[in-house]
Homo-oligomer: A and B are copies of this chain.
Amino acid sequence: MRGNILGERFVVTSFGESHGKCVGAVIDGCPAGLKLEEKDIQKELDLRRPSNTLISTSRKEEDLVEILSGTFEGYTTGAPICALVWNKDVRSRDYDLIREHPRPSHADYYAYVKYGGFNDYRGGGRFSGRITVGFVIAGAIAKKLLMETLGIEIIGYTVEIGGVRAEKFTLDEAKKLRYLNEVRAPSRMAAEEMKTRILEARRQGDSVGGIVECVATGLPIGLGEPVFDALDSDLAKALMSIPGARGVEFGAGFKAAKMTGSQHNDPLVIKNGSITSEKNDAGGVIGGLSTGMPLIVRVAFKPPSSIAIKQKTVNLRSMKEAEIAIPGRHDASIVPRAVPVVEAMVAVVLADHALRAGLIPSILGGRKTGDLR
């Protein structure tokens, strides 16, 4: 109970279930005067939809967003923005099996205990990846706000799937290529290998994990409110809230643990009259503050727990051990679809901190024609 609200100044309240009427979010704290229409959000939601060939779930998610409040004549008003996607292709009978047989490594059983069996178990309910629709809605608004006010750009891509690692690519290549392939890889070669790996897993009725990397450019120095609301602290929290996330790291991350100070430290230099660092093992955040260098964060995702391979579980009614093979065609990897979600959460946190730091005005300029003043 209580825990579905994120942020201090750009505040996201998440609601909705996988097989309920809708999934959505209320965003409180977006400044007035941001040009915002449903198509601005829709294009992000479209990136979250499963690809045609990797398609794993047979569920057709058109995912058309509807803005219910907070905009007027095409602009945000400063009022809370409620936006949602109506669930359509919901076949609840598919989930009767799950009611009695919690899926291993899924939240089924733990939610059943926590909520006394009252939770909407269909499709995982609140624990479904589908709730990230609301994340992407909030992220789309945050992204637009960041780009139009501070020129901050957020670029996510898949760096690893099922052990296949993308190597040798530039940020420019990643930016250009990632949404041109189904796995959101930053290079063509990686895209091919990763796709092969996913299809192989699917053939075996199995699934694979992976890693999403996300870079944000254009950050000013000093975003973050240490010690507890440090920029990396808040990013870690938001990113770990994505279903399936198992770890988060910044810059050199876990590799930093193997480095010496003289290797890891980023020397300070002057470039074009400004202080910057020669390299960026810090991943753009030091002492919980943005450094002005690109923010680099990686999120590890586990392989989806719903697999066709038979697994041990328990029958909740008989309290006897049982077996389960999850029917249907589930995502063999959520990593490609997690890319826009990671971007969304990074955007939400950056927008929150940019507002907290007073870097975004509470009224955006560019009044439309017909302005009274």
Chain A residues 40-94 with CB under 8 Å of chain B are: 68-70, 72, 75-82, 84
Cross-chain contact B264 with A117 (CB below 8 angstroms): no
Surface stretch bound by B, among A169-177, A179-187, A274-282: A274-282
Cα of A317 to Cα of B29 in the assembled complex, Å: 28
Q: Flag whether A6 is at the interface (Cβ < 8 A).
A: yes
Given contacts A15-B81, A104-B268, 11 further A-B contacts (CB under 8 A): A1-B78, A15-B70, A76-B118, A107-B226, A110-B221, A117-B371, A118-B367, A209-B259, A246-B256, A247-B247, A247-B254
Question: A79's contact among B106, B126, B230, by CB below 8 Å, is which?
Answer: B126
Cross-chain contact A28 with B16 (CB below 8 angstroms): no
Shortest beta-carbon distance from A258 to chain B in Å: 5
Cross-chain contact A84 with B68 (CB below 8 angstroms): yes
- Closest residue of B by beta carbon distance from A164: B258
Cross-chain contact A246 with B237 (CB below 8 angstroms): no
Q: Flag whether A369 is at the interface (Cβ < 8 A).
A: no
Contacts of A102 in B (CB 8 A): 268
Cα of A134 to Cα of B141 in the assembled complex, Å: 24
- Closest residue of B by beta carbon distance from A72: B120
Cross-chain contact A15 with B68 (CB below 8 angstroms): yes
Q: Flag whether A151 is at the interface (Cβ < 8 A).
A: no
Chain A residues 262-301 with CB under 8 Å of chain B are: 262-270, 273, 275, 277-278, 281-283, 286-291, 300-301
Contacts of A221 in B (CB 8 A): 110, 113-114
Cα of A238 to Cα of B258 in the assembled complex, Å: 23
Shortest beta-carbon distance from A159 to chain B in Å: 9
Contacts of A30 in B (CB 8 A): 1
- Closest residue of B by beta carbon distance from A82: B15
Cα of A99 to Cα of B1 in the assembled complex, Å: 38
Shortest beta-carbon distance from A240 to chain B in Å: 4
Question: A258's contact among B13, B113, B163, by CB below 8 Å, is which?
Answer: B163
Q: Flag whether A189 is at the interface (Cβ < 8 A).
A: no
Question: Counting chain B CB atoms within 10 Å of each CB, which of A12, A290, A311 scores highest?
Answer: A311
Asked if A13 meets B28 with Cβ closer than 8 Å, knowing A72-B118, A252-B246, the reply is yes
Cα of A69 to Cα of B32 in the assembled complex, Å: 28
Cross-chain contact A229 with B287 (CB below 8 angstroms): no
Q: Flag whether A343 is at the interface (Cβ < 8 A).
A: no
One digit per residue, 1 when the CB lies within 8 angstroms of any chain B CB and 0 when it does not, for chain A 1-45 equals: 111111011111111110011111010111111000000000000
